[in-house]
Amino acid sequence: MRVRNMLGKIKRVIFTCNREKFVAYLKSLGAEIGENVYFVNPRKTRFDYNRAPFIKIGNEVVICSGVSIIAHDYSWTVLMKAYDEVYPTGGGQIIIGNNVFIGENSTILRNVSIGDNVIIAANAVVTKNCENNSVYAGVPAKKIMSLDEYREKMKESLKDEIHNNIQSIMNRKKRLPKQEEMMNFSFLFLPRNEESIQLVSKQSWIGCDKSKMVSLFKTSTPLYSSFEDFVENNK
């Protein structure tokens, strides 16, 4: 038994070194996982390996560093010791839908379902079901806004976001930012030409399909005429 446990731990160390291998390992344990599921840091993900068959993850899901997905509960042992009565529990189902972002150090507990197009904020503790097209935060996690409201918030805060990034570089480096330092905002200033397409295709775009990002880039229109115009209007 001790040797088998040790071999299991060694396997986990090996598989957590690579995102694709980590997903394949979870599937081998019985977890149901869709396409384009991206674990930002498998080594710092706490996945309930022994209850893997109770866990289902959809397509296009980003799971950040430090996330815990826990499908068991041993709190019944307190009742056993206090009352000499046994109310054991087994695995509890966890369902994570499509196009879900789970923020850093958040926890997903058993017997919950997270819908499609959902954002779970960092450090949240999900104890109840999360409805589609929503943003959840807190301990325990509660709905704080709809996805439409979050979209409007992002639109309204975009100029401040750009300004803060430019100012951060100017304060630290005592100069204006270079284009490569602002590539998170590449859609806003790069001209739609072959050179720019190559630049966009080389970006990491965590949790996104690169071919889709390139397609969106080709069919969108920049907000600024050049990088210099972008900086000048936001510094």
| CATH label, 2-140, candidates 3.20.20.110, 2.160.10.10, 3.90.930.12, 2.30.40.10 | 2.160.10.10
The backbone torsions φ and ψ at residue 62, rounded to the nearest 5 degrees and listed phi first, read -110, 125
What the block records as the tokens of 74 is 């041993």
Query: Tell me, what's the pLDDT at 12?
Result: 64
20 contacts: CB under 8 Å, gap ≥ 6? none
Residues facing residue 100 across a β-bridge: 61, 118
The backbone torsions φ and ψ at residue 142, rounded to the nearest 5 degrees and listed phi first, read -130, 155
Q: How large is the angle between the packed helices 210-219 and 194-202, nearest 10 degrees? A: 150
Query: How is the chain split into domains, by residue range?
Result: 2-140, 149-232
Note down pLDDT in tens along the chain; length 235 residues: 555 565 566 666 666 778 899 999 999 999 999 999 999 999 999 999 999 999 999 999 999 999 999 999 999 999 999 999 999 889 999 999 999 999 999 999 999 999 999 999 999 999 999 999 999 999 999 999 999 999 999 999 999 999 999 999 999 999 999 999 999 999 999 999 999 999 999 998 888 888 999 999 999 999 999 999 999 999 9
